[in-house]
Chains A and B, each alone.
Chain A
Amino acid sequence: MSLEVNSTEQVIKIAAITLKGRLDAFEAPALRKICDDYISNEFSHFVFDLTDVAMLDSAGLAVLVSVLKRARLKNGDVRLVWPREEAASRILKLTKFDQVFVSIEKSEIVPRGF
């Protein structure tokens, strides 16, 4: 056999998280806990599906930013499926995080997300 095969296995762990309802200061700690668990389990890529998030405030945003920061340290990233509601997307525009988070279509989530 003359074929030389050198293979490296690279496992990219992607967490796709779908959120519904109000992502505010009250819900943020629960989401943070979930994300912390993923990060401890070597997840470096995150997709947050915000399609059905009715309202997003700065506490919710802070969780997303925190996840992005830690994902980048592991050469990962965070992508967002844009919320349908203005009440949720408003803050992303106001804070200009719409230019930091890469947005994807819902259909792109898995497996073509990355």
Chain B
Amino acid sequence: MFPEINEKHRESFKSLANGWMRVGASCVQLLKGGEVLIGCPNSNASSEPSLLVTSLGSGLSLQVFGVTDIRWVPTAESMLDVFSNLLNADTDLDNLTAALVETQDRLVALYELTQATRRTLDMPKLLDLLIQQSRHLMDVDGGFVVLKEKGKQTIIHQVSENPLHPAHAEAAATLYLRDPNRHIFKDSETLPANLKNVMMVTLPVRDEISAAVGLFNKTGNFNTPDIKLAKAIAEHIGAQLENALLHKEVVERARLETEMDIARQVQTAILPQSIPQIRGLDIFATSTPALEVGGDFFDVIDRSEEALVFALGDVTGKGMPAALLMSMTHTIIKSASRNMPFNHPHQVLDRLNHDMAADFANVGMFTTVMLGMVDCADCKLHFSNAGQSPIYHVPVNGEPMLLEAQDIPVGILDTVEYTTQSLNLSQGDLFIAASDGFPESRNPAGEMYGYERMKAILSTSRELSAKQIAEALLADVNAFCDTHPQDDDRTIVVLKFEKATEKRIMFNESITIYANYEEIRQPCERLRLNLRQAEISEEIAGLCELSLQELLTNLVDHAYEGNPNGQITVRMASNRGQIFIQTEDAGTPANIKMEDVHMPNPEDLAEGGYGMAIIRSLMDDIRYETAQGKNIWTLVKNL
């Protein structure tokens, strides 16, 4: 390819032609392919014989008219050489200048790209930049990036006035990724009709992501320098994308760590700091959280000098949601256990499920709970198990027995009727509730600790104290797991029944009446009788009766407002330490704060307002709550 013939060329040719004129030439012409490039003089009318030399390399010829002497041939050849060299040098110069300008352009563009990408860690923005710069530099219609990661949805990012169908972009990427040495795809081959040409290069991000950049519909065709340029851009953006991904991961990890921290704090905060002890029972409970906190919790709540309630549960999931649900669950269990009528642990689970089922369902989680009440005066253990495992009863003269959960976990169904099971306890009996973190612990070979090993340890350590039994089990699991890290929380409650306390007359009774002044006498008199039989002093019996009478009168007047169909259930129970009186009604909820209740001044001769104040001055604890549309009052008198 020769440059345009310019004035400078004509001048040079003219001075060379003048030399020929002096030896008798009439006209000198430079030709290419039979066409005159330059002539001197410009037009030639001469039909004289001529000398013609041709350079094979450049395809140029020199024709000298009016000279025929063969001796002039070398001179003509030299002149042709000189002239074609001159033209070639000019071509090279032009090419070099053009290349220099283009390189300069590309360098500037790359520099701008670098500057721009440095300021962003945002994936879509980076991909936009990548495509836009490539479009700008290579004069294409548009571009796209396809990101494929195993197990994740393929991401297709496009910038174009006429975007491709995502399937076409993905098809092009698939074609390319199959043979990454082939970069350029031209029409007809495998391309859809709207694609004239496509150039694909790899976007190096990380091994697990296959990513490719496609540029399409270039005016003219893609060439090797385009591939190189596109690769350079892709490499740069790839590194930046890697940074963006890392940044995202670091942020995500920091968030998770914060979450885990909070979860751990929540868990630590709700676990009891000390375990209440009662007569006749050796109890120990502990929880070893895993690095990534699970949702285990436990609690021990004393009910009297001989009775306590214990709970152990495991909220599914990890992190913040598990921690929040765990703390709510724990709170409900704690308050419901305090108000629980003696020996009715299933009522606590009913209440928990009723209150929390919707919350659990919203986040697709649930919790297992084992709730037990041990009563040493009665030598009985009453428990309700919502999916918690493993639970072992080790009778003093028998082998450990695994007790299957009889009910489903809390939070799965809206309505569940939980059940209570009872065990008679003999001196030396063991009862163990643990979380699945024990049997499901693994050793480096991937084997599970399992129920049998647990059973064996319980059998051999049965003579030890509750604390030592728990420690023996923890030590055995740790030894089994060896170097394998702890995957899940390990929580355990061990009860060892030591001996029955002095047997006493107890009562635990429930009466349902219609809400009127006449019927409320029944539970009042019944309470009096029960207390008398339990050999509780007349004074205490009298003040309990008065409190119940006042409470019931209040319910007739305010909860039911005289509605004769209203019903009230009165539960009364007593053990060595406390008297519990509980009423349940379905009337209007009470709007009263006990701490605001004060005895009216007698000088004012008020004709009402004494009832609750009387109860407040006589009882040791008064609680009010509403659950499942029922109003529940609980009065406690310490003995």
Measuring CB to CB, which residues of chain A are less than 8 angstroms from any residue of chain B?
A: 22, 24-26, 55, 57-59, 61-62, 65-66, 68-69, 86-87, 90-91, 94-97, 99-100
Contacts and interface: CB of A to CB of B under 8 A. Distances in A.
B610 A62 contact: yes
A94 B521 contact: no
B602 A90 contact: no
Contacts of B603: 100
14 contacts: A24-B553, A25-B556, A26-B521, A59-B553, A65-B605, A65-B607, A69-B607, A86-B538, A86-B542, A90-B546, A91-B614, A96-B602, A97-B602, A100-B602
* Most A Cβ at <10 Å: residue of B545, B546, B550, B606: B546
B611 to A, nearest CB: 5
Contacts of A90: 542-543, 546
B278 to A, nearest CB: 32
A91 B618 CA distance: 10
Contacts of B608: 58, 62
A111 B599 CA distance: 35
A87 B545 contact: yes
Contact of A22 (B521, B542, B611): B521
A86 B539 contact: yes
Contacts of A61: 610
Interface size for chain B: under 10, 10 to 19, 20 to 34, or 35 or more residues?
20 to 34
A95 B546 contact: no
A14 B379 CA distance: 62
Given A26-B521, A65-B605, A68-B605, A55 B546 contact: yes
Interface in B591-624: 599-600, 602-603, 605-608, 610-611, 613-614, 617-618
A58 B538 CA distance: 20
B111 interface: no
B520 interface: yes
A9 B130 CA distance: 119
Contact of A96 (B599, B606, B607): B599
Given A26-B518, A26-B521, A94 B599 contact: yes
Interface SS majority for chain B: helix
B517 interface: yes
Interface string B302-322: 000000000000000000000
Contacts of B556: 25
B549 interface: yes
Contacts of A58: 550, 553, 608, 610-611, 614
Interface in B530-554: 538-539, 542-543, 545-546, 549-550, 553
Contacts of A55: 542, 545-546, 549
Given A58-B611, A68-B605, A91-B614, 14 more contacts: A24-B549, A26-B517, A55-B542, A57-B546, A57-B550, A58-B614, A59-B553, A62-B607, A86-B539, A87-B546, A90-B542, A95-B599, A95-B600, A100-B605
B602 A24 contact: no
A91 to B, nearest CB: 7
Contacts of B545: 55, 87
Contacts of A65: 605-607
Interface of B: 517-518, 520-521, 538-539, 542-543, 545-546, 549-550, 553, 556, 599-600, 602-603, 605-608, 610-611, 613-614, 617-618
A66 B605 CA distance: 7
Contacts of A22: 521
Contacts of B618: 94
Contacts of B550: 57-58
A90 B550 CA distance: 13
B567 to A, nearest CB: 17
B527 to A, nearest CB: 12
A22 B603 CA distance: 25
Nearest to B599: A95
- 10 cross-chain pairs, A with B, having the tightest CB-CB distances, nearest first: A26-B517, A58-B610, A87-B542, A25-B517, A25-B553, A62-B607, A96-B602, A69-B605, A100-B602, A58-B611
A96 B600 CA distance: 10
Contacts of A59: 517, 553
Contacts of B520: 25-26
Given A26-B521, A57-B546, A87-B542, A95 B614 contact: yes
A95 B517 contact: no
Nearest to B614: A94
A90 B617 CA distance: 11
B619 to A, nearest CB: 12
A57 B521 CA distance: 12
A99 B602 contact: yes
A57 B607 contact: no
* Most A Cβ at <10 Å: residue of B517, B602, B603: B602
Contacts of B610: 58, 61-62, 91, 95
Contacts of B553: 24-25, 57-59
Contact of A66 (B546, B607, B611): B607
A65 B600 CA distance: 12
B539 to A, nearest CB: 6
B526 to A, nearest CB: 14
Contacts of A66: 607
Nearest to B605: A69
Contacts of B521: 22, 24, 26
Nearest to A68: B605
Contacts of B517: 24-26, 59
A93 to B, nearest CB: 10
Contacts of A68: 605
A24 B528 CA distance: 15
